[in-house]
Chain A
């Protein structure tokens, strides 16, 4: 039977033939897609396997804490360490020590937005006196690293005390995954500063933080992160808790000699500061920060990351349960 060429209607046979062709084409396309699909991301040129951060804590010294009141940092930090058994309890002869400072901003020491240089120098000197083979000072600041270390006075203080300043550079970062973490997975961490280190001591000021509530020793580890870390501010409490999970330090020193009470973490005005005259040292960073919160007029419950870190096994919010040694150095 002839058919008008303008008639586009199909008969049964033609429909089946076309359907078979279409199905074949779809099958070939799917097979091709399956062939090129790779469920594992390509390795690229970087190290593909995320590293971890070592545990630098000393098991026999867990749960130690001292609180010293006084106005002079060199004096109060010495007394705080003496109360814990002296620096020799933490730093052995030949140790390589990393002092993780807060050099986040290119701000003068008077603004207390960064680790105080005199305090840093004293701790570095004590480490050297205890026989440390080397003392490294490092941080990945928020602002330009060279400016931060110079203008904060940290660089000069570190060098003057025989410590070496390690500025962050791209090659010093390596992807790192914190065990049990949700956010800090395959995240670039300043592993180069930690390489070969035996002991890690965190030294941080007590500061109000607009977003987190407070920035103290746990938040200080943020300075080991690279990458677009500001995105972590979207879940700042989890981030800080995971930072505590990431770094198990030998010791933390929280400088509450002057506390930034408002407009943190940068501050900017001397009127943001209050003389709180307290130096805290301890091996439990959660407990140390929990006490630090009180210097800002907050309770530990005001900082949710403390309870989260405690729940993750990083320490205790109930700092009083550690029976901290209290010293009056006035």
Chain B
């Protein structure tokens, strides 16, 4: 029997005490369970067999390759899909490029020629989350000296493959050989894909800002992070110009504000100074364009409206100033 003079806690104190006891009991139970839980080889924790790619109905979504099979081809293997955790199970070390560029999902499938089953192609549809990201992986992997294809606004073909950036999707079709019939089938696939998948209204404005004169065809590329080694310099489009037989790299990046563009331009200029870069005198008409010379190459950057623009590598000061002036004029046409 309780002593009448024993102090008693309030109901609230009792409830709090009980709650704490329950939490402690839960922690203890979890510890015991974990202690005796064997992690077998084969589980992700133990480095076991990797999870199999899914062949779930998800692949029948909007961009599933099977929706766009052209005439003359049949499905050769089931559709597969890979997410960020499993992408390397399909493309191994190349996954890093996609994962660093906003990769969401890969859907892929092989299709064989109905007349010759030894002729086949594999289609890879990468959902990159945004048109910018899709263009990024498209442009960074562009093969040299290839021709644009007319299957889409952003497309090129090699001897055995077709590469397309359409909306948030980057599409690759790769055939086993160099069959003209299969090449036609790849193009037909791409046209059906472009017609059947909405690309969205969003345009990549930077592509139209680069002046066209002396621009090397197919040279506009987009990097996602820390371009030129400058911290924070992301979402940068570069283009190569050939002036007087020499290559010049120009760049553009649309920023959140005019202030950010100016600050990044300053950061770009300052980046080279500790490595021996020197500011050289310039009578460039472009406001804020400071030219830096390092190891015989010239660089400059400036902010204009919400754009950061500049020249990364030019052989001389005059060319640097000329390209910067062209960029500035085009930006003035585009507006803020």
The yes or no answer to B238 lying at the interface (CB within 8 A) is no
CB atoms of B47 and A228 under 8 A apart: yes
CB atoms of A233 and B94 under 8 A apart: no
Shortest Cβ distance from B84 into chain A, in angstroms? Answer: 11
Shortest Cβ distance from B119 into chain A, in angstroms? Answer: 10
Residue of chain B at shortest CB distance from A8: B7
Interface-facing stretch out of B170-178, B198-206, B311-319: B170-178
Residue of chain A at shortest CB distance from B31: A33
Shortest Cβ distance from B79 into chain A, in angstroms? Answer: 13
CB atoms of B90 and A36 under 8 A apart: no
A41 to B39, CA, bound (A): 9
Interface-facing stretch out of A60-68, A77-85, A264-272, A294-302: A264-272
The yes or no answer to A188 lying at the interface (CB within 8 A) is yes
CB atoms of B40 and A268 under 8 A apart: no
CB atoms of B92 and A269 under 8 A apart: no
> On chain A, which size bracket covers the interface?
35 or more
CB atoms of B47 and A226 under 8 A apart: yes
Residues of B within 8 A of A266 (CB): 91-92, 94
Interface-facing stretch out of A42-50, A242-250, A322-330: A42-50
CB atoms of A108 and B177 under 8 A apart: yes
Residue of chain B at shortest CB distance from A3: B5
A233 to B88, CA, bound (A): 10
Given contacts A38-B35, A170-B42, A269-B174, contact A5 B4 (CB under 8 A): yes
CB atoms of B143 and A271 under 8 A apart: yes
User: Most chain-B CB neighbours within 10 Å: which of A108, A229, A236, A262?
Assistant: A108
A29 to B32, CA, bound (A): 13
The yes or no answer to A9 lying at the interface (CB within 8 A) is yes
A106-141 CB mask vs B (1 if < 8 Å, else 0) is 111011000000000000000000000000000000
The yes or no answer to B50 lying at the interface (CB within 8 A) is yes
Given contacts A44-B38, A110-B160, A269-B159, contact A210 B93 (CB under 8 A): yes
Given contacts A44-B38, A271-B158, contact A230 B143 (CB under 8 A): no
Which chain B residues in 92-130 approach chain A with CB under 8 Å?
A: 92-97, 110, 122
The yes or no answer to B335 lying at the interface (CB within 8 A) is no
CB atoms of A228 and B44 under 8 A apart: yes
Residues of A within 8 A of B212 (CB): none
Shortest Cβ distance from A282 into chain B, in angstroms? Answer: 24
CB atoms of B92 and A228 under 8 A apart: no
A204 to B268, CA, bound (A): 42
Residues of A within 8 A of B94 (CB): 210-211, 263-266
CB atoms of B176 and A110 under 8 A apart: yes
CB atoms of A2 and B38 under 8 A apart: no
A168-191 CB mask vs B (1 if < 8 Å, else 0) is 001001010000000000011000
CB atoms of A44 and B159 under 8 A apart: no
CB atoms of A188 and B48 under 8 A apart: yes
The yes or no answer to A37 lying at the interface (CB within 8 A) is yes
Residues of A within 8 A of B7 (CB): 3, 5, 7-10, 14
The yes or no answer to B77 lying at the interface (CB within 8 A) is yes
Residues of A within 8 A of B50 (CB): 227-230
A308 to B31, CA, bound (A): 40
The yes or no answer to B61 lying at the interface (CB within 8 A) is no
Given contacts A9-B7, A42-B38, A270-B160, contact A143 B90 (CB under 8 A): yes
Residue of chain B at shortest CB distance from A47: B41
Shortest Cβ distance from B309 into chain A, in angstroms? Answer: 28
Residues of B within 8 A of A268 (CB): 161, 172, 174
The yes or no answer to B46 lying at the interface (CB within 8 A) is yes
Shortest Cβ distance from A157 into chain B, in angstroms? Answer: 15
The yes or no answer to A147 lying at the interface (CB within 8 A) is yes
User: Most chain-A CB neighbours within 10 Å: which of B32, B36, B77, B143?
Assistant: B143
A271 to B178, CA, bound (A): 12
Which chain A residues in 1-51 approach chain B with CB under 8 Å?
A: 2-3, 5-10, 14, 29, 33, 36-38, 41-42, 44-46
> A7, A104, A187, A271: which contacts B144 (Cβ < 8 A)?
A271
Residues of B within 8 A of A236 (CB): 93
A143 to B110, CA, bound (A): 13
> A7, A104, A229, A233: which contacts B47 (Cβ < 8 A)?
A229
The yes or no answer to B296 lying at the interface (CB within 8 A) is no
The yes or no answer to B217 lying at the interface (CB within 8 A) is no
> B10, B40, B172: which contacts A46 (Cβ < 8 A)?
B40
> B9, B39, B91, B158: which contacts A270 (Cβ < 8 A)?
B158
Residues of B within 8 A of A45 (CB): 38, 40
Shortest Cβ distance from A19 into chain B, in angstroms? Answer: 15
> A8, A143, A170: which contacts B89 (Cβ < 8 A)?
A143
Residue of chain A at shortest CB distance from B157: A269
The yes or no answer to A164 lying at the interface (CB within 8 A) is no
Shortest Cβ distance from A289 into chain B, in angstroms? Answer: 16
B37-66 CB mask vs A (1 if < 8 Å, else 0) is 011111010111110000000000000000
CB atoms of B77 and A104 under 8 A apart: no
Residue of chain B at shortest CB distance from A215: B93
Closest 7 pairs (CB-CB, A-B): A227-B47, A230-B88, A44-B38, A211-B93, A108-B176, A271-B143, A269-B158
Would you mind naming 12 contact pairs between A and B with Cβ atoms under 8 Å apart?
A104-B92, A143-B89, A147-B77, A173-B41, A188-B48, A209-B93, A227-B47, A230-B89, A233-B96, A265-B92, A271-B144, A271-B158
Q: Could you list 12 further interchain pairs (A-B, Cβ under 8 angstroms) beyond the known A107-B174, A170-B42, A270-B158?
A: A3-B5, A42-B36, A105-B92, A110-B160, A209-B93, A210-B97, A211-B93, A227-B41, A233-B93, A263-B94, A266-B92, A268-B161
